[in-house]
Amino acid sequence: MFLRNSWYVAAWDRELGRTPLARTILSEPVVLYRTAGGAPVALEDRCCHRSLPLSMGRIEGDELRCGYHGLKFDASGACVEIPGQPSIPPQARVRSYPVLERYRWIWIWMGDPARADPDLVPSWWWADHPEWAFTRPDMIHVKCNYQLVSDNVLDVTHLAYVHAGSIGTAAIAEFPAATEREDRLVRLKRWIVDRPAPPMYQAAGGFSGNVDRGQIVEHVPPCFSVNFAICQDTGSGAPQGVKRGRRIDLMALSAPTPETGRTTHYFFGFVRNFKLGDAETETMFEEGMVRVFNEDVAVLEAQQRMLETKPGAPKIDIRVDAAPLAARRMLAAMIAAENSPAAATAA
């Protein structure tokens, strides 16, 4: 079961144009395109006539014509032409989804259109800000449930094991993390104090001595996480909120969109406030960090396969599960609320 009344990332802005894009979201086939004016449109990707995916059709002006018998649909999903017959029955329509474009992503609202409030899109303003660079790698298709991705993002322990060769350092396990819960947010906070910077950060920030390293993850259900990585000369007050001396800020934005219950469109990007416009740094994020994400993909897909092989097998929880478990409970409560009789009455 998914949380329906939420925005999800449907595509990168660059993926949408005047050719229909087919994408399954929350197990629903969706077709995305842009009108002549460039506005994004999302419709049910199934012709109401004989079920051909509308994504096999062609765009005509602001409308989409089915590639089989030529029914034409406007951006609201209404059928506006049936070849060979003058009248159009009112049931001749497909579902249309609210969409908006923000931070270079196309966001889609999968629930009740009346509740599609643009303010509910997570506030990731750095992605659009001139003082920050935004690295926008292609989405990765991952064969796992999207919550496994959020679990992964909300856990920094695994850096030492999954990413031992890249960004992980053995020091991580020594510093306990604190989990904070807010209304619709789970925060995981850890400061690694007075330790050498890992190689990738050393190269990025030019640190000579030890650093204080903040690892803060803010997770907003159903699936939005920001991993803040802060690296500042040790002793200069970073854990207390002081910005001083050599410092770099790097945020990994994660938006794993459920394709189905067992597959995910993993959208992500990196924003940083250092070495803007530096080609080498850009390459490191475009390629090096994507390699890191792919280390996670191998783990996530193996985990999904094993969960499917042994569905009800017992499991234990450990300390580092506090934040992922808090996020899962928060989401479960939201889904339950959405499906309660009270919600149905209110709607």
Q: Which residues bind its own copies (CB under 8 A)?
A: 29, 45-46, 48-53, 56-57, 65-71, 82-85, 89, 91-92, 151, 155, 157-158, 160-162, 173, 176, 298-299, 302-303, 306-307, 309-310, 313-320
Q: Nearest approach, Cβ of 200 to ligand FES (angstroms)?
A: 24
Q: Nearest approach, Cβ of 50 to ligand FES (angstroms)?
A: 3
E strand residue ranges, the chain: 7-12, 21-25, 28-34, 40-44, 58-60, 63-65, 72-73, 79-81, 96-97, 99-102, 105-109, 133-135, 140-142, 178-182, 185-195, 211-220, 224-233, 247-260, 263-272
Q: Rounded to whole angstroms, how far apart are CA atoms 332 and 147?
A: 11
47 binds ligand FES, rule: CB under 6 A? yes
Binding residues among 56-75 for ligand FES as defined by CB under 6 A: 66, 68-71
321 binds ligand FES, rule: CB under 6 A? no
Q: Rounded to whole angstroms, how far apart are CA atoms 135 and 289?
A: 10
Binding partner at 53 among ligand FES, its own copies, none, C-beta below 5 to 8 Å by kind: its own copies
49 binds ligand FES, rule: CB under 6 A? yes
Q: Nearest approach, Cβ of 49 to ligand FES (angstroms)?
A: 3
Q: Rounded to whole angstroms, how far apart are CA atoms 203 and 318?
A: 34
Q: Nearest approach, Cβ of 220 to its own copies (angstroms)?
A: 22
50 binds ligand FES, rule: CB under 6 A? yes
Q: Please give the distance of CA 134 from its chain centroid, rounded to a whole number.
A: 15
Secondary structure class of 323 (helix, strand, coil): helix
Binding partner at 342 among its own copies, ligand FES, none, C-beta below 5 to 8 Å by kind: none
Q: Nearest approach, Cβ of 304 to its own copies (angstroms)?
A: 9
When the beta carbons of 92 and 248 are compared against its own copies, the nearer one is 92
C-alpha distance from residue 290 to each of 135, 233, 298 (Å): 10, 27, 13
The DSSP string of 147-185 is HHHHHHHT--TTHHHHTTTTT--GGGGGS--EEEEETTE
Q: How large is the angle between the packed helices 290-309 and 146-153, nearest 10 degrees?
A: 130
Which range touches ligand FES (CB under 6 A), out of 3-11, 44-52, 191-199, 244-252?
Answer: 44-52
299 binds ligand FES, rule: CB under 6 A? no
42 binds ligand FES, rule: CB under 6 A? no
Sign of CA dihedral 298, 299, 301, 305: positive
Tokens encoding 83: 């070849």
Q: Nearest approach, Cβ of 205 to its own copies (angstroms)?
A: 26
305 binds ligand FES, rule: CB under 6 A? no
When the beta carbons of 49 and 262 are compared against ligand FES, the nearer one is 49
Which range touches ligand FES (CB under 6 A), out of 43-51, 84-92, 162-170, 236-244?
Answer: 43-51
Spatial CA neighbour of 266 closest among 279, 254, 277, 249: 254
41 binds ligand FES, rule: CB under 6 A? no
Residues binding ligand FES (CB under 6 A):
47, 49-50, 52, 66, 68-71
